[in-house]
Structure 1
């Protein structure tokens, strides 16, 4: 240990790089030594270089605020997070198991609904689901895969065990920042990448393109893939542009497409109409087709659902997949895995209380000062209550919300989220982190999990909110080969 790391401690929390005795973890020994050799002033210089690289590369995200749309440079911390390869393989297996069961569950809900008939999943939950699309009943997409791309948020508890906090199955975002974080790290710390074997993350776009191509209804031609974006004002527009560019796909808005009388989808091009085989959509269900869903939508394409239902275009993620992107449904994933796969869950859920259950609701209302309360279908950290840090008035407000609409709320214990050293004013300070890996499912049954994922970090001291829109940042995530330890 040297001067830079002297005094670094994270009491009461599992730290990603240091054990309880203050010694570097096996996956971080080389990194800790070399960062310490740099020291605070040099690392501050490297951080400045990273900030300049981010601006030069145009890596941004958009914040919605009362003042309008604010485009900001991506917040990046230069101190990486490390995870050993063997440990990551266990996480990978758990994620693949989970997504397999979720896809079977979605297919079942739009099919025979056996899981409901057998009493494993309550019909009441489905009947009050805001993301269940009756228009999708009876449809079978290729391979019965509905959620082709999933981003599951993982956290560690105080003992260092990974838990799934939630699954994002509608339009999961963040993968571009995972890859760009690695590119920035390589620019800022080239010597670290010369001395370590860090497993790559830059194969995501090719894996995604292979999965999308496999969905094409036309097997005799090279598929034409399009990325459907809501447009420049969307908070993830940078990612939409990035994905289209990486895959060599066409970036389109709803007005760029049309459905002809043959129920096929075409894009307007300078060379005339071009048929589109696969659409990777980054638009919510309700807005993708004004003919099928919201008639006032300006973001979708009229007749798109017709073309999809006819099997003339593939859509990823499939319309209706969001039925499983519900924090109440999340609580039933362990039962789904046992029901569909006859297996025990490999990557557990965070303990969850369902406010729709009278006994669990009573417990939640009596312990609002100890729990985190979340609405069933919000994202980005919005609409939630962190009980221990809330005011009496805020807790009273949430008690009223829960009583008025119990189906819409779950509660979870306040977790001792793990920490990772973060560069704050030239010094290493512990900050809470989570992790969003991305899982790609193919219609032939294959599955791909990124090597690591997007580590998000709460930059404010003591904060548990890691979302970039609410003051969080991100880190490069290293999956390090075990022999390098």
Structure 2
């Protein structure tokens, strides 16, 4: 194999070769066989007419367009609503694989909640020297207004999205944690609904675990953390920035599926020490708000004074224990990619166990030795902003031009603490459907976790994001990626 070629783990067929020119087909060695989780699907696919499947793919696109499953890309001339491409070849995960993933995810989420409670109270992990104090004190996402505040049920991260990548048969890594306002669950649900409508026979042949319970579990989770003074059934609302937000479809979708109100900041006000929601019958007390706006915009009296999206005074009501905000303000500290690099220590500190799921090796550019290494190996690494998301502000070294490398080098030298770097992982691939047949593309996985006062629910599967461009490692929808239905098989 030449130095320009790499072997990647294909989740349907085993290993395959990629060259510098793109992605090749599975190795024609004769040793490659369909992996067990895909056996039934592969048998079905082999008997299907390719032309019919491509027509089905076009039909799926029309379904998504009619349903209005779109998103916006900020900062572009054509930032109008876009359709997220959907691929009809499912990603299939065996029961034993999912079992291990779920254990690791639950362990990690418990540790994150314990960590958030600690840093806003006694800060024992800092006193123990397990994390440098400056990573908290100088962290943009740390909210001093949350010091000493204990959310109902001690839950900070009610909804978590944990991004996971795979590099081998039994090799999974956590790429990052999304503890603020993780998005994408509506696409997971619509992907499944579309697949069940278009290929009902597949679900009779394959025992696939359901994801349709998510809205019910989400509402139950939110209701479980209602304020102590809540009387009767809690009133829940989804707080959205409005129709121009990139994830507005998801906000309205989830509110509708849960049977709760979709509200904007101007619909809410502080009255009698509580948050009241404007209705056709007057004002009604809101007990739990699932906020889909960033911390900085929640309350102009506490955060950004120019915010027109939040509710003036809501933080005072929150600190008084008269409303629950999910996820809690200040949870972005757990999203910070410099903090991410300490997650193995965080898991061990709060659980007394070794982390089941491994981190990707990470260089913190704030450290002189790490910065020196990153600058010397920039063309080999992936560099990310510590508070970045959506694939923005990121450099993929092996795919970057000399000009891009030079520009990023200047950014690193100017503000090193703003970046971390990681090796370019050999991300696994899953086939997508093309007009010529199956073709492998790189994927990641975002399972969704719901944290209640007394339990943790992990939805079996999650959102698989796929890089539709041959050879690309960037799966984000804002960067041209698509999505797949994710099947977790019954044991």
* Superposition TM-score, scaled by structure 1 size: 0.95
1:179 corresponds to which residue?
189
C-alpha RMSD of matched pairs (Å):
1.3
Within the candidate set 242, 249, 265, 2:260 is matched to 249
Unaligned runs of 5+ in 1: 1-9
CA distance in structure 2 between the partners assigned to 1:122 and 1:263 by the alignment: 38
Unaligned runs of 5+ in 2: 16-30
* 1:258 match: secondary structure: strand
2:325 corresponds to which residue?
315
2:485 corresponds to which residue?
476
**How far has the Cα of 1:311 moved from its partner?**
0.4
Aligned residues of 2:156 and 2:331 also touching (Cα < 8 A)? yes
* Superposition TM-score, scaled by structure 2 size: 0.94
* 1:432 match: secondary structure: strand
Residue 466 (structure 2) pairs with residue 467 (structure 1) = no
Aligned residues of 2:84 and 2:481 also touching (Cα < 8 A)? no
1:137-160 CA distance string (max 9 Å, x none): 010012221111110110011455
Residue 452 (structure 2) pairs with residue 457 (structure 1) = no
CA distance in structure 1 between the partners assigned to 2:407 and 2:452 by the alignment: 44
* 2:282 match: secondary structure: coil
Aligned residues of 1:419 and 1:430 also touching (Cα < 8 A)? yes
Residue 176 (structure 2) pairs with residue 166 (structure 1) = yes
CA distance in structure 2 between the partners assigned to 1:141 and 1:256 by the alignment: 23
CA distance in structure 1 between the partners assigned to 2:280 and 2:407 by the alignment: 55
**How far has the Cα of 1:396 moved from its partner?**
2.0
Q: Map 1:395-474 to 2 at 5 A.
A: 395-444=405-454, 446-474=455-483
1:222 corresponds to which residue?
233
1:140-196 CA distance string (max 9 Å, x none): 012221111110110011455110000011110000100100001011111111211
CA distance in structure 1 between the partners assigned to 2:303 and 2:481 by the alignment: 34
1:205-238 CA distance string (max 9 Å, x none): 1111111001112443111000000000000000
Q: Map 1:105-124 to 2 at 5 A.
A: 105-124=115-134
Aligned residues of 1:198 and 1:478 also touching (Cα < 8 A)? yes
2:19 corresponds to which residue?
none
* 1:369 match: secondary structure: helix
Aligned residues of 2:230 and 2:287 also touching (Cα < 8 A)? no
**How far has the Cα of 1:481 moved from its partner?**
2.0
Aligned length: 471
**How far has the Cα of 1:358 moved from its partner?**
1.4
CA distance in structure 2 between the partners assigned to 1:153 and 1:422 by the alignment: 20
Residue 281 (structure 2) pairs with residue 266 (structure 1) = no
**How far has the Cα of 1:39 moved from its partner?**
3.1
2:398 corresponds to which residue?
388
- Runs (4+) of structure 1 exceeding 6 A deviation are none
**How far has the Cα of 1:65 moved from its partner?**
3.8
Within the candidate set 373, 388, 398, 1:378 is matched to 388
2:28 corresponds to which residue?
none
Q: Map 1:338-377 to 2 at 5 A.
A: 338-377=348-387
Within the candidate set 11, 14, 25, 1:19 is matched to 14
**How far has the Cα of 1:412 moved from its partner?**
0.3
Aligned residues of 2:383 and 2:422 also touching (Cα < 8 A)? yes
CA distance in structure 1 between the partners assigned to 2:386 and 2:194 by the alignment: 35
1:32 corresponds to which residue?
42
* 1:462 match: secondary structure: coil
**How far has the Cα of 1:348 moved from its partner?**
0.6
C-alpha distance 96-133 of structure 1, shift in aligned 2 (>3 A): same
* 1:365 match: secondary structure: helix
